[in-house]
Structure 1
Amino acid sequence: MSTAQLTNSAPRLFYTVTEPRNGQAPHRTFLLSHALGCDVTMWDELVAHLSAENRVVCYDQRGHGRSEAPTGPYTMAALADDAARLIDELNLGAITWIGLSMGGMIGQELALRHPTKVQALVLANTTSFYPDEARTGWDQRIATIAQDGLASIVDGAMLRWFHDGFRATQPNTVAYWKQRVLACSQDGYIACCHAIRDMDTTARLPTIGVPTLVIAGELDLGTPPAMARAIAHHIPGAQLAILPQASHLSVLEQPAAFIHTVDQWLSAH
């Protein structure tokens, strides 16, 4: 059974809770955190899989989907505190975090700021910091959106998110995600860009003490495998998996491989 509503505390975040289909007490509670420009529907296939025996909570980041978009800029710490607030409001206890891209950045910060709330981490298609050249790219993106709107960057996002073969064979999926970007609050999207541009957890990662799986996409240009390797290197005991034929939104391009990788890792942790 799945329910959906808004948090009581502000900024109000839209979230869904899916209880275990087997009717038993949940084996784990997962909290899933989406990429910039996406929403809870990014996780539909994974939720259907994990909810066989687990409670699965998804939420729209501030500035996305049906969540509120307070005035920015945002920081990664504030986004992590949003997640911590959701965990507390729903009385979830220690959760297993699965985050992709921005969601993976938030997961790192959550584990560092609120370690008792995190039981395990899955960090997909993400990074622990951006070098100066990439930070300049984020500045340019922010300026472009401010002047010309989200429509000015959405086609470039689709090129980064999905490889040529996927775009050719799954045009409806690409069109859906293009519309999800365009449905974002422009100010909220820009405010999240500031948080992403400025994030840097690298020096603090060795203090993360929970089991961690780091997933990369072989073809990911936005957060290439080298960034995933750096995260896995700095978090003690972290495991690295690189998915073939996956770009930035690996959970959408290669859902079966993503699920298999997560399942195998969970079985050992």
Structure 2
Amino acid sequence: MPIIKAGNINLSYETYGDGEPLLLIMGFGMSGAGWIPSLPFLSGFKCIYFDNRGTGLSDKPEGIYTVEGMADDASNLMRALGIAKAKVFGVSMGGMIAQELTLRHPEQVAKVVLGCTMAGGPTTKMAAPEILDKLITGSKIMATDPEKGFDILMPLLMPAEFTAAHPEIKAMMVAGAKMMPPTPPETADRAMLGVAQFNAYDRLPQIKCPVLIVHGDKDVLVLPENAKLIKSRIPQAELYMIAGAGHAFQVTDPVGSFQKIVDWLKH
């Protein structure tokens, strides 16, 4: 992946496909390469995906990785690449970054998809503390033992009945993780501190561009009520709940979910 100076940080990024620009923002602790399995479903776009600070081949500075700072990273990346305006698709923490990008730099965002995410602040419906503990523990282990890491993370990402019916999923995810640059364990702590401070709830009505909220109705990591909270703050937003899907909603029905997202992005 090429490296480019984006503001005061070096970010690793990649592009895929042809068409209008679509900026893809990955979630907690994962390299932007986590988008690779989704790329064939996003035809008609020039997809730009990148490693958030602290992940992949991007710089890993000291201190808290605030959502606002990572949104500015994304904005600076677009500027460095000469992209004046793009459609944006963020998942999980990437959806929080997408909210901040749209709020802080509205001129750069044509449309935004907010996947399996939350608005932050006191109204957020948080997962149980043991779920969040498993997220941090599993994320830290991924760097040295993806097999064990996914044993912890898989129940947070997908419903048990889905993984039981598709035992091949874990092997595919482990193989994918082994091809990505490992994320250092301290990134999990730095990013979680940033997520804990994030609060866009009061500002969400300022978003004027079209918004699509996508969420699995069996998400145990970012509870589905959060999608409805975001919708309540952005009246023009469209809400797409995926029945039977967990946090990794795109895994449950990749063809159907991406068809809906792509159709919405194109029209």
Do the structures match in fold with TM over 0.5?
yes
C-alpha change, 1:5 and 1:173, in structure 2 (3 Å) is same
Alignment of 1:46-125 (within 5 A): 46-51=38-43, 53-125=44-116
Contact 2:13/2:51 (CA < 8 Å) preserved in 1? Answer: yes
- Any unmatched runs of 5+ in structure 1? 21-25
Q: Which residue in the other structure is 1:5 paired with? A: 2
C-alpha change, 1:166 and 1:17, in structure 2 (3 Å) is same
Between 1:178-187 and 1:118-127, the stretch displaced more is: 178-187
SS class of match (1:99): strand
Contact 1:100/1:126 (CA < 8 Å) preserved in 2? Answer: yes
C-alpha change, 1:5 and 1:141, in structure 2 (3 Å) is same
Q: Which residue in the other structure is 1:162 paired with? A: 158
Distance 2:118 2:260 in 1: 19
Give the percent of matched residue pairs that are identical in Structure 1 and Structure 2: 26
Moved >3 Å (runs of 4+): 130-138, 148-156, 176-182
Distance 1:182 1:162 in 2: 23
Give, as a single letter, the amino acid of the residue that structure 2 aligns with 1:159: P
Distance 1:46 1:171 in 2: 16
* Counterpart selection for 1:40 from 32, 38, 45: 32
Shift of 1:153: 6.9
Between 1:36-45 and 1:171-180, the stretch displaced more is: 171-180
Distance 1:130 1:206 in 2: 15
SS class of match (1:12): strand
Contact 2:220/2:247 (CA < 8 Å) preserved in 1? Answer: yes
Q: Deviations over 1:230-258 (max 9, x none)?
A: 11121130000011221111123321122
* Counterpart selection for 1:137 from 129, 136, 141: 129
- Any unmatched runs of 5+ in structure 2? 143-147
TM, length-normalised to structure 2: 0.85
